[in-house]
């Protein structure tokens, strides 16, 4: 891949992860979706969220991003271009929209057990949909890289999360969760969270570094500028 350099791509995603996740995570704590045990954290909070959570935004971005960069040097050998039929593009985006609407509707209706999962989908699906709309073909071209870069960090973070959950460092409100536990104390929503966030990071990093992305972004910018001048 010959797009934006891996280093700049990684730094950009660390910054975006902190900026985009901070309001959402503060809302979760403020509304009691998840809570933390005061005696098990440093006691420094920014808004409603403890310092450790902000550090996690940075650490996850670095772990997934560095893993992807390492993989890209070994798995990505500029695979041949693969076009994605327009019908497939529309089907993918329509599916994303349907999932988002279902999640948003569940937040409007008094369906408490799906609340945490719905908040995740409403928060994460719009940027993922934008990534797919911009570069579904580029991601499909590098599907092996995308799968390895997303799934392995997701599994690692999910397993690592069992430790603080088991210790009571933090917990999810039972009334706002489906209550489906995996491998002991790990809620399904946490696995979903790691999958969604690593998808955002993985897709974003690949698109930043992809050869075809910069010319495409420049063409879109010229087209938008031309329309605004009319």
- The predicted pLDDT at position 81 comes to 65
pTM, whole model, 2 decimals?
Answer: 0.92
Sequence-distant (6+) residues with CB within 8 A of 201 are: 13, 17, 60, 61, 64, 65, 68, 150
Strand partners, 162: none
Number of neighbouring beta carbons within 10 Å of residue 49: 21
Does residue 78 carry a pLDDT above 80?
no
The pLDDT confidence band at residue 80, using thresholds 50, 70 and 90, is low
Is residue 220 assigned to a domain? yes
Interval 156-172 mean pLDDT: 94
Interval 18-27 mean pLDDT: 97
Is residue 230 assigned to a domain? no
Residue-range definition of the domain harbouring residue 85: 6-225
86-109 residue pLDDT tens: 888 899 999 999 999 999 999 998
d(CA 9, CA 136): 18
Is residue 1 assigned to a domain? no
Is residue 75 assigned to a domain? yes
Number of neighbouring beta carbons within 10 Å of residue 146: 21
Domain count, the chain: 1
């Amino acid at each position: 891949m010959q797009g934006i350099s891996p280093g700049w791509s990684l730094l950009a995603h660390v910054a975006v992860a902190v900026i985009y996740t901070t309001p959402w995570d503060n809302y979760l704590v403020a509304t009691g979706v998840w809570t933390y045990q005061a005696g098990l954290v440093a006691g420094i909070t920014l808004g409603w969220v403890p310092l450790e959570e902000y550090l996690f935004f940075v650490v996850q971005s670095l772990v997934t991003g560095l893993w992807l960069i390492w993989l890209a040097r070994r798995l990505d050998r500029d695979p041949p271009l693969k076009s994605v039929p327009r019908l497939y593009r529309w089907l993918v985006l329509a599916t994303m929209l349907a999932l988002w609407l279902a999640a948003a509707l569940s937040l409007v209706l008094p369906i408490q057990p799906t609340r945490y999962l719905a908040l995740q989908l409403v928060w994460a699906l719009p940027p993922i949909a934008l990534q797919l709309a911009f570069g579904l073909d580029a991601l499909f071209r590098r599907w092996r890289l995308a799968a390895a870069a997303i799934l392995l960090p997701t599994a690692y973070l999910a397993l690592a999360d069992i430790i603080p959950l088991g210790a009571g460092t933090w917990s999810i409100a039972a009334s706002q969760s489906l209550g489906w536990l995996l491998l002991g104390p790990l809620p399904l929503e946490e696995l979903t969270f790691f999958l969604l966030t690593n998808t955002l990071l993985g897709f974003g990093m690949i698109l930043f570094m992809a050869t075809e992305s910069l010319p495409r972004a420049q063409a879109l910018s010229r087209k938008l500028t031309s329309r605004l001048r009319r």
